[in-house]
Amino acid sequence: MNEVTTRTVRVELGARSYDILIGEGLIAGAGTAIAARLPGLRAAIVTDETVAALYLEPLRASLRAAGIEATPIVLPPGETTKSFSHLQTAVEAVIAARLERGDAVIALGGGVIGDLAGFVAGIVRRGMRFIQVPTTLLAQVDSSVGGKTGINSPQGKNLVGVFHQPSLVLADTQVLDSLPPREFAAGYAEVVKYGLIDRPDFFEWLERHRAGIFAGQAARAEAIAESCRAKAEVVADDEREEGRRALLNLGHTFGHALEKAVRYDPARLVHGEGVAIGMAMAHRFSVRLGLCSGQDAGRVARHLEAAGLPTRLGEVPGPGFTVAELMGAIRQDKKVSRERLTFILTRGIGEAFIAKDVEPAGLEAFLADEIAGR
């Protein structure tokens, strides 16, 4: 592990504070980093078949070298793995390995594996240690940080889960070189989100450095670190999403509805693409409500499009959407309170806010226009 080039972001949560390490070669140095913080540990590594073929053995070798015994649990790849059946598989494997409360579940993979493995760690023996080793850009800048864990229900995304903070996050930027371009772009949507919430200067920086981030230049690690700083600040202020943390869902209400509508089919839509469309829609909806300028909404869409991301419903391949199916999914969103629709809207770039009690009729009319491509 190259300590010189490793960036550290601290998530301040009192006794449950932890570090996010960002840099090249962190999987190779994982055993050293973990043993220094959590001596005497045993672990289970939850991963998927795709990631296992690339990084499971290097991680196990690093852990063995540090004296850490680790049991691998390999699941199928894809969003459908976030299910009750695969949760049970992982839970039973951790118990069968005779791991104790002071031992750890290590998530090696993207957001799906991180969410499911964190849920396992949160419920086995009423809570085990949890370590994130995210292998996608989306997971490194978003889902690995903050303690949200869970699985999907047939009725909606991320409806079953617990808050369970990791003890350590190791974001190895070197593994991002193996990502397909589409998956890297999908993760970039979550990077853009932080600029659009309350960091307009960061959004401007992204406009200047997007090409370098995609090319793997020094800007990539800085973009990841700044995204983690942004999320760490929000999580420290509102760990359980009782207020400000809901802002991190910018674009997600629309995005999650689209994911449910396509039945989580990655051939049609992956999470980051849904978020990109959702953020563009949130800005256009804000324009419709007289909150945001069309100029800002256009600027957001152009930046996402330049990154190779969709911004319109018509760009999702396959059958079109209906207002009824999207509204049905939106009404199941976690932010709905006493059946009142809650959205993250904006007054401009970097000026997102929580809008409660959004009027359904106006939303339905907006969705109809979006579906029609107007």
Enzyme catalytic residues: 126, 148, 190, 231, 241, 245, 249, 252, 256, 271
User: Which letter, b or e, does each residue of 177-200 get, where b requires 16 or more Cβ atoms within 10 Å of its Cβ?
Assistant: eebeeebbbbbbbbbbbbbbbbbe
Residue ranges of the annotated binding site are 111-115, 135-136, 148, 157, 190, 252, 271
DSSP code at position 100: -
Please name the residues in contact with 347: beta carbons below 8 A apart, sequence gap of 6 or more.
286, 291, 292, 353
Residue ranges of the annotated binding site for Zn(2+) are 190, 252, 271
The amino acid that residue 333 corresponds to is D
CA distance linking residue 138 with residue 186, whole number of Å: 7
Q: What residues are paired with 352 via a beta bridge? A: 346
- Could you give the strand order of the β-sheet that contains 168-172, starting from the edge strand earlier in sequence? 7-11, 18-23, 168-172, 129-134, 104-109, 43-48, 70-75
Please name the residues in contact with 208: beta carbons below 8 A apart, sequence gap of 6 or more.
none
Residue ranges of the annotated binding site for NAD(+) are 111-115, 135-136, 148, 157
CA distance linking residue 324 with residue 320, whole number of Å: 12
